[in-house]
Every structure is written in structure tokens, then in C-alpha cells.
Amino acid sequence: MKNYKKIEKLLSRIDIDCDLSELSDVNIKTFEELRDYLQEQGLFDVEIIYYSNAMEYLSEYDPSLRTSLELAYDLGYTLENEDIASEILASLLASQRLKEDFQELQNEIEELLEN
């Protein structure tokens, strides 16, 4: 993949730290193929640990908990089993926000992939 250093630099702007040099022999041609590769590598998975960190994150980005609870329910978490914790909600929300940040880079990444 050409321009992988430039793509790495773009990704570092959104706090995805990765080494794409191994992809120089892989034929990634599209934004979607790159997204799928990053997903497979777990680079969109954010883990927020400790109650205080999670509550701080949630109070800043989802004070109503509406978005994070929707994400949790979509993944099968329930309140009945008490398997939803602040760390899970914050981690799900942070992961979703990272995916959205990546999506905003689509035009720039596609341009680099075309060159």
C-alpha cells in the first residue's frame, strides 16, 4: 500500500496508533478495506477502566447516557442482568466516537489510496 506513512499520520490525529508498513505487500485499495483491516486488528476498541475515568468520560460526552445505553442494548447488554457498568458504557461510547472520527477521514484516506 502506497502512502501508508501518510495514512498513519492521519490516523494518529484521531489517536489510532498503528504501523501500516506490513500492508505494503497487501493490496488494500479502498477505504472500506482499510476500515475492515483496522477493525480486525481491534484498533477501534477503546477500553476505559476505573469508575472515575468512565464517569468523567460519560459526563463529558453523554451526560444523559442515551447514546451509550443504546449502544449497549444493541450489543445485548441488559439492565435486568446488571451487566452494564460505567466502564462498559464509556468504552462503548469511546469506541463508537473513534469509528466516527475515522469515518470523517474518508475523503483524505481515499485520496491517498488512489495515488
Return the HEC string of the chain: CCCHHHHHHHHHHCCCCCCCHHHHHCCCCCHHHHHHHHHHCCCCCCCCCCHHHHHHHHHHHCCCCHHHHHHHHHCCCCCCCCCCCHHHHHHHHHHHHHHHHHHHCHHHHHHHHHC
The pLDDT value recorded for residue 81 is 67
pLDDT in tens, the chain (115 residues): 567 888 889 999 998 888 777 766 667 889 999 999 899 989 999 999 999 999 999 999 999 999 999 999 999 998 886 778 999 999 999 999 999 999 999 999 999 888 7
Locate the domains of the chain by residue range: 4-114
